[in-house]
Structure 1
Amino acid sequence: MASNFTQSLSANRTGCAGCYLRHLCLSADLNDAETEIFSSHIVSQRRVPKGEVLFRAGDPLDALFVTRLGSFKSSVLTENGSEQVTDFHMSGEVLGAETIPTEYHTCTVTALEDSEICSLRYRELEALCDRDPKISRQFRLLLGRKIVAAHQNLLILGCTNSTQLLASFLLNLARKFEARGFSKSEFVLRMTRGELGSFLGLKLETVSRTLTHFDELNLIEINQRHVRIINLEGLKAVAKESGRAKRKTLQG
C-alpha cells in the first residue's frame, strides 16, 4: 500500500500550468503553450524524504530548486565540526541561488519533512533567460524575494534578547504561512528546537523556556511542535520591546 506521502505527491503531481505556486515561480507570466515548453524542457520534479540532503556545501551548481511541497533547512559546519543552521525554507522558495556567483554551493540543504522540489537545470535556464525577457524578469523577481527574505532574517537576528528573537521568528513564520494561503495563527514547527536555537543563536534550553513562557502569558498555545497564536498583538508587542542586555535570557 502506498504511504500517505506517496499518495499526497501523486495527487498533487502536476506540471507548471496546474501548480498552485505558479504565481510565485518562473512561469507566472507565460501563456499555456510557453508554460508547457518551459515545464518539459527546464523543470523536473522529485521527492526528497525527510532527512535527505538535497545538496552539500562544495557541490557544483547543476540546478536551482524550488520547494514545491514541504520544507528545508540550510546549514554549514563550524570550525569545531558542529552544525550551524543558517536558514529555513518553505514552499515557493528558491534553493541554491547563493551559488550563482561561484557556481559552488556554500551550504548544505536538508529536508525537514517529506518534501518535493522542482529542479531547474541551470544552464538551460540561463540560456532561456537570455532569449525570453518574461522568464528573465520573473527570475529577477525570484532572486529579489530571496534578498527580502535575507533582510527579514537579519532583522530577526538583530533582536537583543531571547523573547524578541522567538516572537519575531514566530511572527515572520506566520506571515509566510499566510502568504501561501495557510493559517497565520496555527501551524507546525518543522524544525527541532535545537535547530531553531542554532538559527537564532540560542541554547535549546532557552528556546524551550521562552516558548513555555509565551504559553504561560497566553500569547501562544504550544503542544510539542504545534503552535497556535492566541494573542497576535501581544506577540507583536514582545517583538518590539527593546532589551538592554544583548541575548538576555529569561533567567536575567
Structure 2
Amino acid sequence: MKATVPITAAGLKTACSQCNLLELCLPFGMTDTELNRLDELVGGRRKIKRQQPLYRAGELFEAIYAIRAGSFKTDVLLEDGREQVTGFQMTGEIIGLDGISTEFHSCNAVALEDSEVCVIPYAKLEELSREIEGLQHQFHKVMSREIVRDHGVMMLLGSMRAEERLAAFLLNMSQRFTARGFSAAEFHLRMTREEIGSYLGLKLETVSRAFSRFQEDGLVAVQQKHIRILDNDGLKKLIQHQPGAR
C-alpha cells in the first residue's frame, strides 16, 4: 500500500511557494476563497524511493502528479524487451498526463532519485477546473508545454546528428535548472548515459564519444554525472549549424 500524507490548504500554500508549482496549485488571479478550495484538489504527497515506480504502463489512470522534489524518467517497454526512455521530469513539473486519453497509463514512471510528488486526483481536477476558470487555464498551459516538448524531441531525433542531439539536450537541461533557480552552467544529471542515449536515440558508446569530444573542444567539463558548461555559445553553434560547428 502506497502511503499518502494529507495536505491542508494552509500547508499547501507553504509547500508550494518555493517549489515552482504556483501556476498549477496557486494560479494567479484567484480569489482567497478559490485558493482555500485547493485542499479539495491535492490528495496528498507520496514519497518514491530511487529506482522505484510511481506508476506502471497499463495501470488505471487516476491522478496526475506535481513533482515536489526529485526527478523521474518515463519509459516504455519495446517488443524486444528493451526500455525506450521517453522523457525526463524534474522538480516543478507535472507527470502522469499520458493516461488522460485512454484512462490507463501508457508508460512507466520511475524515480531517478529519492523523490516526492503531490497527488492530484484527475476527477477532482476536472471538477474544480469547471468552477475555477484560472485553474483550468493554468492546466491547459501545462498540457501545452508537454505537447511543445514532445514536438521538440521529434525534431531533435529527426534532423540532428549525434553531437547536435547531445548539445541540445544539455542546453535544455541547463534552461530547466535555471528556471528552478539553479546554476545554468553547473548541474548534476540524475540519469545514466545509457538512459540519455535511449532518450536521444543514440547508442551508449556514441553518447560517451560525444561527451569526450565536447571535453576535448572545451565545451564542457564532465566528472561522472556532474556537468559544467564551459562554452554555452559553442554548444549553441553546434545545433544552429553556424561556422565552426562540427
TM band (smaller chain): 0.7 to 0.9
**In 1, Cα distance between the equivalents of 2:217 and 2:100?**
45
Contact 1:26 1:139 in 2 (8 A): no
For residues 92-146 of structure 1, give each alpha carbon's deviation from its aligned partner in whole angstroms, at most 9, with x where no partner exists. Answer: 2211112111111000000001111111011111111122212111111111121
CA 1:74–1:223: 2 relative to 1, 3 Å:
same
Residue 161 of structure 2 corresponds to 161
Secondary structure of 2:222's partner? strand
Structural mapping, 1:120-199, within 5 Å: 120-199=120-199
For residues 16-50 of structure 1, give each alpha carbon's deviation from its aligned partner in whole angstroms, at most 9, with x where no partner exists. Answer: 44422233323223344433431355341121111
Contact 2:40 2:124 in 1 (8 A): no
Contact 2:42 2:118 in 1 (8 A): no
**In 1, Cα distance between the equivalents of 2:27 and 2:180?**
15
Structural mapping, 1:21-100, within 5 Å: 21-29=20-28, 30-39=30-39, 41-100=41-100
Contact 1:73 1:88 in 2 (8 A): yes
User: Aligned-pair distance for 1:88?
Assistant: 0.6
Contact 2:21 2:66 in 1 (8 A): no
**In 2, Cα distance between the equivalents of 1:174 and 1:57?**
29
User: Aligned-pair distance for 1:66?
Assistant: 1.1
Unaligned runs of 5+ in 1: 1-13, 243-249
Secondary structure of 1:25's partner? helix
For residues 183-226 of structure 1, give each alpha carbon's deviation from its aligned partner in whole angstroms, at most 9, with x where no partner exists. Answer: 11110111001111111111111111110110111100000000
Tell me the amino acid that sits aligned with residue 138 of structure 2.
Q
**TM-score normalised by the chain length of structure 2:** 0.88
Contact 1:24 1:92 in 2 (8 A): no
**TM-score normalised by the chain length of structure 1:** 0.86
Residue 10 of structure 1 corresponds to none
Structure 1 stretch displaced more, 143-152 or 173-182? 143-152
Residue 15 of structure 1 corresponds to 12
RMSD across aligned positions (CA): 1.8
Report the identity percentage.
40
Structure 1 stretch displaced more, 18-27 or 166-175? 18-27
Contact 1:22 1:28 in 2 (8 A): no
**In 2, Cα distance between the equivalents of 1:240 and 1:62?**
41
Give aligned pairs, total: 230
Contact 1:16 1:36 in 2 (8 A): no
**In 2, Cα distance between the equivalents of 1:192 and 1:159?**
24
Contact 1:75 1:84 in 2 (8 A): yes
CA 1:128–1:40: 2 relative to 1, 3 Å:
closer
**In 2, Cα distance between the equivalents of 1:159 and 1:228?**
26
**In 1, Cα distance between the equivalents of 2:68 and 2:233?**
31
Unaligned runs of 5+ in 2: 1-10
Structural mapping, 1:232-251, within 5 Å: 232-241=232-241
Secondary structure of 1:47's partner? strand
